[in-house]
Copies of this chain bind each other. A is one copy, B any other.
Amino acid sequence: MRNCKSYCPINQALEVFGDKWTLLIIRDIMFDGKRYFREMLGSDEKIASNILTDRLNKLEEFGILVKTKDAHHKQKNVYSLTDKGIELMPVMIEIAHWSTKHRKVSEKDRIHVKELVDGGQKLQDKMQEALRSELESVSNS
């Protein structure tokens, strides 16, 4: 650990995603189906390309995602969540759920989160399974 302040679980998590951008990148992959650098660069929050590069590299180092070459376009990289990343889904959903209660959120997202929460464990398992099979398909190439 580079600059590990403590072995408290909250702090250990913050060393991975305790900043303004990392969870947005994970959101892009987990919920918005984004897989390429340019797609993430185009998200509403307008992340700078150097920051995106930096965070993708860090997430790869942490084992949250893997970078593979696109089969059809030599220059494109495909970013996929690992198990470690996929298992952040409950965290993401709890955060989103809290935000819909206590923060100003777009109507579209409010509905999206409600579906996710109402879908319960069953929906979540299904979504995680979909991400896992994707991971499997990129690792077999």
Contact = CB atoms under 8 A, between A and B. Distances in A.
Given A13-B98, A19-B18, A98-B13, A8 B91 contact: no
Contacts of A74: none
A39 interface: no
Interface of A: 1, 5-16, 18-20, 23-24, 27, 44-46, 84, 87-88, 90-92, 94-106, 109-110, 113
- Chain copies in complex: 2
Most chain B CB neighbours (cut-off 10 Å) among A24, A99, A104: A99
Nearest to A46: B5
A19 B20 contact: yes
B23 A99 contact: no
Contacts of A102: 84, 87
A104 B4 CA distance: 10
Most chain B CB neighbours (cut-off 10 Å) among A6, A45, A102, A113: A102
Given A10-B23, A27-B8, A98 B91 contact: yes
Contact of A90 (B24, B92, B94): B94
Contact of A14 (B13, B20, B46): B20
Nearest to A101: B87
B10 A99 contact: yes
Contacts of A106: 6-8
Contact of A10 (B84, B87, B96, B104): B96
